[in-house]
Structure 1
């Protein structure tokens, strides 16, 4: 696992490579004079951040540091809540609004002092940081992975998406696949093409009446029939499910096209279709799922 062999290379902030020191997303690490805001923990944050970039392929643009979070830690009378700061949030950059803002958290990282013992119960120790990380994850509907590290010891967790959504220890992360990387091998990608209307090649095929009935209707292989006959949904429930699916599909297409127009970069749709063994299956076009 890349999260090992901690030598505290960035104890002195002057040793941080310029591409990190000067990046707008990392400015919260430093005071005006260039020193760390939190000298004990910030070198660990910087070390973990570089590993995410160099070893897992996470773009710096998909990260945010010191993100304020409103959460409840434990059970308190009167519903008291606390303000905390997530050390690193990694967003899933396939999900962006029409102007490119990211708000779908994917990985959360909690860094602590290297001197703190694993499982230690001292103040601001391992247990406190783990509880805090649990609270951050609970407050986010989308975050799937969590990392707790002191540099000398690192644990990676995956959140169970089913109730009660507990954190489960796993061995390692898979590579992060950004929207830019996904566009290089996706079957359906939006690209700039001056010969197409609006200068955009969408790769989409208009949905005809016959194709609509074949894919979504009451034919044997149609989605409505599958939802009704195989999944046991009532006809109205099957229609409701299909409407939600179609809205998600439409939103994905429109948001992706808008982003390509804005950025000029090719992007893959979030949802894709690939052929496998002469059949067709739907696959979420992503890494680390």
Structure 2
């Protein structure tokens, strides 16, 4: 369901609090990614993530959210989003999506990464899975770069769509059932952030706006279904999927990726964007 609520605009201090949450989240995701390996269960990956949050006195905005039982979503292969960590043992060649969030002093951050267990060079991963993950990752940064200059939120989806559909090779599908969102005093706020062209401009971009931008791409059709656990979303055709996500803000000084320690500087340089921390 797409949100029609009013948009929450944050003060500089509130964006700085969100930045603190984002840095903790980035560290927790680093640890979770490092822990993910063949022979490890998704529950063990979740435990590593949870431990980092606890070390910083942060809390998970996933755990208990509408009854969700873990601190991250761990979605493997054809599982697109909302996979519940458990006793599933990771295998060579798996496409693992780790999606997590952190709360510090009541302010939220949300971020996701895709990793491939193995590599095509070693013959332990499908090169088309690597291509899927890399195009999705690049699409995220294209969307963030668009947000840095956008007058309306819809320009983000336009940019992502144009980038993905222009890539050579087998076409990739852009999921339409799941979109990005506003974020701040809660994990999910207005506005919805589409990853494809809708024909609508969307809300006007304003200072103090924070968004979770999260393109999700698939190697096959974009139809999905939810498993009996009432959480895990899979592609109906079994095609593998990728998700990348960052929490990003616009403020009077510019744009800043709140869930990246460098604010996105390394990635945004290729797009001619220089991020500026809130308050500078």
When normalised by structure 2's length, the TM-score is: 0.27
TM-score, normalised with respect to structure 1: 0.26
Looking at CA atoms only, which structure, 1 or 2, has the larger radius of gyration?
1
Higher-RCO chain (CA-CA 8 Å, sequence separation at least 6): 2
